[in-house]
Amino acid sequence: MLQNIFRAVLLTDSLVDAQRALKKLAQILDLSDGNVEELYEVFTSSQPKKLTPFILKQQLSWKEVPILEAHCSDLPGVSVEVGQARHYPLGSAAAHVDIGQANNFGVM
């Protein structure tokens, strides 16, 4: 089963000072200094292509989404994106069972 998730992303072309923005984002999303340093290292070492979203945090909570949206004007290039992730209602009990492929139109 697919479910919608929210994630914080950074558009790589629109940000001048990534380290400063990540520190500000850490205050908003309660990220540790270690997480900020790790994100900055991955961001600078991967050399992402222009206008490619760089995922800062997966699965934002319902509480984090409006807080981040309210601060987006202070964080150039940072936005909230909706994505999809697989969800197994029974946990790992039936996760191995292959019942087909899922797409945007239903089951194939």
For residue 23, tell me if it sits in a domain.
yes
The pTM of this model reads: 0.65
Spell out the alpha helix ranges (H) of 1-108.
18-29, 33-46, 64-71
- What pLDDT shows up at residue 24? 84
For residue 56, tell me if it sits in a domain.
yes
Tell me the residue range of the domain where 38 lies.
2-87
pLDDT at 93 over 50: yes
CATH number, domain at 20? Answer: 3.30.1390
Q: How confident is the model at residue 108 (pLDDT cuts 50, 70, 90)?
A: very low
Residue pLDDT, tens place only, 4-30: 889 988 876 655 577 777 888 888 887
For residue 108, tell me if it sits in a domain.
no
For residue 105, tell me if it sits in a domain.
no
Q: Which residues contact 40 (CB under 8 A, 6 or more apart)?
A: 18, 19, 22
pLDDT at 102 over 70: no
Residue pLDDT, tens place only, 64-81: 999 989 988 888 778 899
For residue 104, tell me if it sits in a domain.
no
